[in-house]
Amino acid sequence: MDRIEQAIRRAKRNGQQVAVLTVSLDALEQLSDTLGSAVAEKFSRAMVARLRDRLRTTDTISMPEMEDGLGFSISRLGMEELVVLLTDLHNDDNVTDIIQRLFLKEEEPIEVDGNEVFTNTSVGVSVFPRDGDNVEALLGHANSALREARQQSGRNNFQFYAEDMQQHSKRRLRVETELHRAVKRDELVLHYQPKVDLMSGAIHSLEALVRWQHPEMGMVSPGEFIPLAEQTGIIEDISKWVLRRVCGQLRFWRESGFPEISVAVNLSPVEFRNQNLAADILGTLEEFALPTRMLEVEVTETVAMQHLDAAQAILRTLADAGVMISMDDFGTGYSSLSYLKHFPLHKLKIDRSFIMDVTEGPDGAAIVSAIMAMSHSLGLRVIAEGVETEEQLRFLQDLRCDEVQGYFLARPMPRDQVGDLLKEHTSIQQLVQAHGYGMGVAGEDGMDSMLPGMIGVLNDLPDR
């Protein structure tokens, strides 16, 4: 800290810049667990030596504007963290260059006691005067940037501090703390998005999608809070709430004489740590006296990657009991196809990113038709998510896709709205004919609703 302070004073006098790099050696913990702390210590020293060498040779030849060479110092801050201080800098570009030299993307492993250890560093950077004019601010901001860098995928990432990063981490903290209370305070809301059977044009099932209506923050999207809920374990409470809400709704529709419909719920990979997951789900269905065929669960490929054995058993129990199983976001994970035969799947849901591409050129179309052909030959139904245009729908129809879901057909909507839809119309075809084009385009309050556009396409469908 003393050195950073001196560097700031000198830089002020000379009109120069100072960069503070916090470096985390992400390989270290695992190394320490597997090969012991003595090896980890050696690795850490070797890493410091490597950085020091590289800093020394970052000389006046490669950076002519740096007349006296680069001023630097490296300190260790605990076992896994280093702080590198760069002084006498003239501009930001220098910093980026230097970091790229220091932490190469593709790096030779370091040899310690006959073991080859690959480096994996994350680096956060703050620069005086732009990001702060005192030690605490510079170190704190370098640390925020480091947290961002650690979230990135791949090895050896670095990240400069940016002011909005602080807004971002404040919001994150708030979402995280308030999420604990969201379930208790009854702030969660369920929306339902219809899935349309392409053979008949009928709506046989819905997907339940959770929203969080926060009293001050407004609608928080599941894309933002579900990952946090997974990290903190709150996902289990949310998921239970979703299932009970869905079951209550299904019972209500059933008792009120609506046509039979099934609802899909999303399960997070982390929920598969609960060995009673299948029993819990089946127990809830029983409590609401619902036939198991009315429930569908959507799981992602991550489940197969992380919890193969547990997931196999849980899904097998559910499938044997009559619950439908869908593989969600298909094609985005590791897509090692071997799990397909280990899992009792009924449906593959092709990820939205592929559907987006089907009308953008031959490759996108080829991928989707290949997935479709493979699924059908495995006896699986195929559902396409994120259908946004008529062109996409026609393409999917030609390929004999079984079901479609997306804004072009219907947005996720509150239960009353979907209830009206089910009561009045058994198919989107009728719905669109009844209401015509242009009804209920999504409003800004997050109330999603029907989009126009289905008439032409569904009129081409065979009558069944």
Tell me which residues touch ligand C2E (CB under 6 A).
Answer: 193, 209-210, 221-223, 226, 239, 242, 266, 268, 298, 328-329, 385-388, 406-407, 412
In order of 18, 59, 217, 229, 269, the CA distances from 238 in angstroms are: 46, 56, 19, 8, 14
**Which of 222/419 has CB closer to ligand C2E?**
222
Sign of the C-alpha dihedral, residues 281, 287, 292, 297?
negative
Q: Which does 222 bind (CB under 5 to 8 A by kind): Ca ion, ligand C2E, none?
A: ligand C2E
Q: Are 188 and 182 spatial neighbours (Cβ–Cβ below 8 Å)?
A: yes
Binding site for Ca ion (CB under 5 A): 266, 298, 328-329, 385
Please give the Cα distance from 301 to 304 (Å, whole number): 5
Please give the Cα distance from 250 to 158 (Å, whole number): 49
Q: Are 77 and 89 spatial neighbours (Cβ–Cβ below 8 Å)?
A: no
**Which of 131/328 has CB closer to ligand C2E?**
328
**Which of 24/266 has CB closer to ligand C2E?**
266
Give min distance, CB of 160 to ligand C2E, in A: 29
Q: Which does 210 bind (CB under 5 to 8 A by kind): Ca ion, ligand C2E, none?
A: ligand C2E
How wide is the angle at C-alpha 263 spanned by C-alphas 214 and 372, nearest 5°? 110
**Which of 197/329 has CB closer to ligand C2E?**
329
Give min distance, CB of 389 to ligand C2E, in A: 9
**Which of 115/389 has CB closer to ligand C2E?**
389
**Which of 161/272 has CB closer to ligand C2E?**
272
Give min distance, CB of 266 to ligand C2E, in A: 4
**Which of 352/425 has CB closer to ligand C2E?**
352
Q: Whose CA is closest to 413, among 368, 443, 383, 370? A: 443
Q: Which does 129 bind (CB under 5 to 8 A by kind): ligand C2E, Ca ion, none?
A: none
Question: What are the start-end ranges of the H helices in 183-307?
Answer: 222-232, 235-255, 277-287, 301-306
**Which of 272/407 has CB closer to ligand C2E?**
407
Give min distance, CB of 146 to ligand C2E, in A: 27
Give min distance, CB of 464 to Ca ion, in A: 27
Q: Are 302 and 329 spatial neighbours (Cβ–Cβ below 8 Å)?
A: no
Give min distance, CB of 44 to Ca ion, in A: 42
Q: Which does 121 bind (CB under 5 to 8 A by kind): Ca ion, ligand C2E, none?
A: none
Q: Are 19 and 126 spatial neighbours (Cβ–Cβ below 8 Å)?
A: yes
Give min distance, CB of 129 to Ca ion, in A: 46
> How many Å separate Cα 392 from the centre of its chain?
24
Q: Which does 412 bind (CB under 5 to 8 A by kind): Ca ion, ligand C2E, none?
A: ligand C2E
**Which of 124/406 has CB closer to ligand C2E?**
406
**Both tokens of residue 359?**
């009308």
Q: Are 281 and 295 spatial neighbours (Cβ–Cβ below 8 Å)?
A: yes
Tell me the backbone φ, ψ of residue 345, rounded to 5 degrees.
-90, 150
Q: Which does 386 bind (CB under 5 to 8 A by kind): Ca ion, ligand C2E, none?
A: ligand C2E
Give min distance, CB of 93 to Ca ion, in A: 41
Give min distance, CB of 276 to ligand C2E, in A: 17
Beta bridge partners of 204: none
b or e along 66-96 (b: 16 or more beta carbons within 10 Å of the residue's beta carbon)?
A: beeebbbebeeeeebbbbbbbbbbeeeebbe
C-alpha gyration radius of the chain:
28
